[in-house]
């Protein structure tokens, strides 16, 4: 596991300490979770952009053509 030293403005540090205390987790765990959230969001954005680049209308229409043409039940409308 890696260790880093991060300088935070006092106001942000105090807020993070307060929130982590309310959640009964260490400040270290709180910051690790926050970084994980951000990394996940950015990775997801990149993944979706890559998938979009590979997309084609022809493949979409081919997949859509396999969906059965049925009338939905009344509770589904």
pLDDT digits (tens, 9 = 90+) for 6-63: 999 999 999 999 999 999 999 999 999 999 999 999 999 999 999 999 999 999 999 9
Q: Match 């009964």 to its residue by tokens.
A: 24
Supply the pTM of this predicted model.
0.65
CA–CA separation, 19 vs 52, rounded Å? 37
Q: What is the DSSP letter of 73?
A: P
pLDDT grade for 1, boundaries at 50, 70 and 90: confident
Distances (CA, A) of 31 to 6, 12, 16, 19: 10, 11, 8, 11
Per-residue exposure over 20-53, b if at least 16 CB sit within 10 Å of its own CB, e if not: beeeeeeeeebbeeeeeeeeeeeeeeeeeeeeee
pLDDT at 76: 86
Helix (H, G, I), strand (E, B) or coil at 26: coil
């Amino acid at each position: 596991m890696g260790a880093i030293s991060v300088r935070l403005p006092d106001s942000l540090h105090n807020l993070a300490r307060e929130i982590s205390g309310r959640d009964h987790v260490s400040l270290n765990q709180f910051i690790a979770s926050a970084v994980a959230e951000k990394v996940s969001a950015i990775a997801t954005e990149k993944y979706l952009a890559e998938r979009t680049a590979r997309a084609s209308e022809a493949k979409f229409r081919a997949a859509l053509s396999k969906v059965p043409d049925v009338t939905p039940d009344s509770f589904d409308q």
